[in-house]
Amino acid sequence: MPADETRQTPARLSPEQLFLLAGLAALGALATNIILPAFPDMAADLGTSVLDLSATLSSFFVAFAVGQLFVGPLSDRFGRKWLVLSGLAIFVAGSAICALATTLPQLIGGRVVQALGVCATSVLSRAIARDLFDGEALARTLALIMVAMAAAPGFRRCSAAH
């Protein structure tokens, strides 16, 4: 039986589903950008330069990219729910490592852990949408997920203003 015949196509996306999928997708963009306003304070606390802190960004991006190579096949084998929940737990663990970091290498390690966790949520939010919807419902869902991803860095700007 082709996959399209087993797919359910709800007539309408529930607000809870939309919020969950959009939030999962936006978490990656938010995690990437939210530390930027704190760079000067972090550099002072860690006794390093803002330029050296840029390694936290590059390490995040590399881990995020590499993690994507594994997320899809793992979710096909073990299921999306398990991987999303594991990704969230890994992201929280990485955030704790970052919060407790006293050296730049510890902070970079925490950012790598964060990226490995959050890549699961970002990738799988779109895969879940494709699992649940097709046609117009899928197009609407993916469009709203993309809006959430695009808006997420704006929350950093709002938090930096206060």
* pLDDT, position 19: 83
Better-scored residue on pLDDT, 146 or 70? 70
**At residue 17, what are phi and psi to the nearest 5 degrees?**
-65, -45
What is the three-state SS of 45-57?
HHCCCHHHHHHHH
Q: What is the pTM of this model?
A: 0.79
Domain ranges of the chain: 14-157
Residue 153 confidence (pLDDT): 63
The answer regarding whether domain 14-157 maps to CATH 3.40.1160.10 reads: no
Region of 11 (left: φ > 0; alpha: ψ -120 to 50; beta: rest) is alpha
Question: Hey, what are 6's tokens?
Answer: 């087993």
